[in-house]
Structure 1
Amino acid sequence: MTLRVLAAGDNFVLSSLLKSAVLHEVPDAEVSTVDFPWPDVPFGKVAEVDEATGTEEEMISALRGHDVLVTQMGAVTERVLRECPDLKLVAVSRGGPINVNIPAATAAGVAVCYAPGRNATATAEMTIALMLAVLRRVPETHAHTANGEWRGDYYRYERCGLELEGTPVGLVGYGAIGSRVAKVLTAFGAEVLIYDPYADPSLPGLVHDLDDLLTRSRILTLHARVTEETEGLIGLRELSLLPRGSYVVNAARGALLDYSAVVEALHDGHLAGAAFDTYAVEPIPSGDALLSAPNVVMTPHIAGASKAVAEKAARIVAAEVGRFARGEELANCSNPEVRDVHRR
């Protein structure tokens, strides 16, 4: 029987990328496409699922009659699952299937898989870019120079930043992204310190106490997942443990960090600078104190935005479709009990 697949793409993970990758894995599949407007239209909550795009009606209309859905942001709600009874697999081309109602999918016998690590390299590279940008004041000096101002005062000792070579850099989290950041920092000659309770105890540079890491780090960069233990992990007390004149970088999740504490530390000079790609509230509200804080580099949550990420994401979910078509175990399944039932 021909496998009927819907490739529900957007303006980042294109439907054409998804379709091409699926046909590479399952050449005889019947692949239809639909396109959603993210990121030109921000994602949001759709019924009971978060970080989704489009409407339930649009998804139902496109998905009916298909066995498999591959998507990045398409909303897979209880209603969508109920009205698309042929669906057997949802493959989400992102690090977690946030846009899928997992309990409803499990109850409906629909396996859900995802694409961990798709943006690890891109985010690690962006972390280093943010770090260098804030250390060497790249955005502000570019703005002056492009405006015709030749500002030699940035060569004054007190306005100069740090080099990475020889500088203690503390990493909170040593997963797919943190480990890549550590590798690049090592190549720069930085002194890499790591705090991660789940890391191999023999890992070079591992520090077993967060406070110890903070007191020893001139640059702090965050790479942990948001859990009950890590939400709000770095607040005013923790920032105060950093040596005066330190820097903070966060390209992970906004919930890890108290941004009001960062603003306070920047204004009183305890922090020399900060660089962020993620925030407590996104988009950043107009008038937020962070927008006027000194020596802050900010990007709009784009650390994972590279062509390679989109292409890799498509390949990862397409590989899951191939496994599904061949009756093999899925590599990254959120509800493996569904597939176990199907095998029996």
Structure 2
Amino acid sequence: MTPLTHPAGSAGFRPPVIVCAGDEFISADLLARALEGAGVEAEFRRIDSRWPTEPFAAFDGVREAAGDPARLAELVRGADALVTHLAPLTADVLAAGGLRVVGVTRGGPVNVDVPAATAAGTLVVHLPGRNLGAVAEFCVGTMICAMRGLPSAAIRLASGHWDAGGFRYERTGLELRAATVGLVGLGAVGLRVAELLRAFGSTVLAHDPYASAEAAERVGVRLVELPELLSGSDVVSVHARLTPETKQMVDAAALAAMRPGAVLVNTARGELVDTRAVDAALESGHLRAAVLDVFDPEPPAPDDPLLRRPNVFATPHLAGASRQVAEESAARIAAEVATVLSGGAPTNCVNPEVLDAGAAP
């Protein structure tokens, strides 16, 4: 591909025009500073949505997006690149711009109409595993909280009740060093969780038909079939990708197969778990506790009975929220976009056929 830019001051130098479409987590200013830090000299156009103060939504052909497509279409006219977290890159927006590259600070760029981008000759680069550190720490931390009954103890104390009964043997929970943890999915996040659990001394099982045996061995994980994982784990943590085959894979039958008194953790996708079956398993006492950071739908109904259970640790999709995720995502996507603008090939691209077309004679 022909480089767009040349060193400043050289003949024919034209700074690229880059739209930075941010939000209240990864702002347009943060994206622009990251691009400057990557050595990109550009004319920046900035816009910020009000996510997460205002929820994201689905637009024409895209989902989990935030911002005004019409305003975005105005900004991309004449631009060479766009860098964003959640901006709605619909077919109309892409058609308005003639963008060379779109950089999305997410593992899955669901806010981009990828077929439309490909048809327009626009590369879409993204960041697989961008929040794996934050999610992995969240998983391990909440496992400890759920096994030890800490959320309900904290709620009772805040309401004025000193509950020393947590020292009764039958109410005490396991330490991680004594626990067997089953990971349903051993991708980037699952591997990082396994690394952290290894430091605690946990026994770790994993089920993933696509997992690398070498990677599993490296982090001390034993790969097993799902029934063995469910029956043999004190904690089951879900890290699978959402596909038609994995939708509601943790259903009533899977929960019944789990060890009595086990803990369920889901930070992946709400659609992977049948929450009504989880509610029933908690009501019967078969499950000790559940950690739920994702729901189907999001947000869940305010009167959802699952949220009111004292043995449910429910959070509003916060596992990936950290300053490191925001800052490092901006820096990584800036480096990818800088590579493309200088004529190189990005590391992570969802439509590499655009690269192939550009290289054709």
**What is the TM-score of this pair, normalised by structure 1?**
0.96
Tell me the C-alpha RMSD between the 2 structures: 1.3
Q: Which moved more, 1:17-26 or 1:117-126?
A: 17-26
1:106 paired with 2:118, answer yes
1:128 paired with 2:140, answer yes
1:320 paired with 2:336, answer yes
Q: Which one-letter code corresponds to 1:176 in the other structure?
A: A
Name the counterpart of 2:41.
28
- Map residues 1-344 of structure 1 onto 2, 5 A cutoff: 1-85=14-98, 87-202=99-214, 203=217, 204-344=220-360
> Which blocks of at least 5 consecutive residues in structure 1 are unaligned?
none
Q: Distance in 1 between matches of 2:248 and 2:158?
A: 38
Q: Which one-letter code corresponds to 1:14 in the other structure?
A: S
Contact 2:151 2:310 in 1 (8 A): no
**What is the TM-score of this pair, normalised by structure 2?**
0.92
Q: Which one-letter code corresponds to 1:222 in the other structure?
A: V
Contact 2:249 2:272 in 1 (8 A): yes
Contact 1:320 1:330 in 2 (8 A): yes
Task: Please report how far the alpha carbon of residue 294 of structure 1 lies from its aligned counterpart in structure 2 after TM superposition.
Answer: 4.3
Q: Distance in 2 between matches of 1:40 and 1:138?
A: 29
Contact 2:252 2:277 in 1 (8 A): yes
Task: Please report how far the alpha carbon of residue 289 of structure 1 lies from its aligned counterpart in structure 2 after TM superposition.
Answer: 2.7
Q: Distance in 1 between matches of 2:57 and 2:105?
A: 17
Q: Distance in 1 between matches of 2:30 and 2:310?
A: 41
Task: Please report how far the alpha carbon of residue 148 of structure 1 lies from its aligned counterpart in structure 2 after TM superposition.
Answer: 3.4
Tell me how many residue pairs correspond in the alignment: 343
SS at match of 1:42: coil
Q: Distance in 2 between matches of 1:164 and 1:59?
A: 48
Q: Distance in 2 between matches of 1:80 and 1:188?
A: 48
Contact 1:197 1:208 in 2 (8 A): no
Task: Please report how far the alpha carbon of residue 138 of structure 1 lies from its aligned counterpart in structure 2 after TM superposition.
Answer: 1.8
Q: Which one-letter code corresponds to 1:258 in the other structure?
A: D
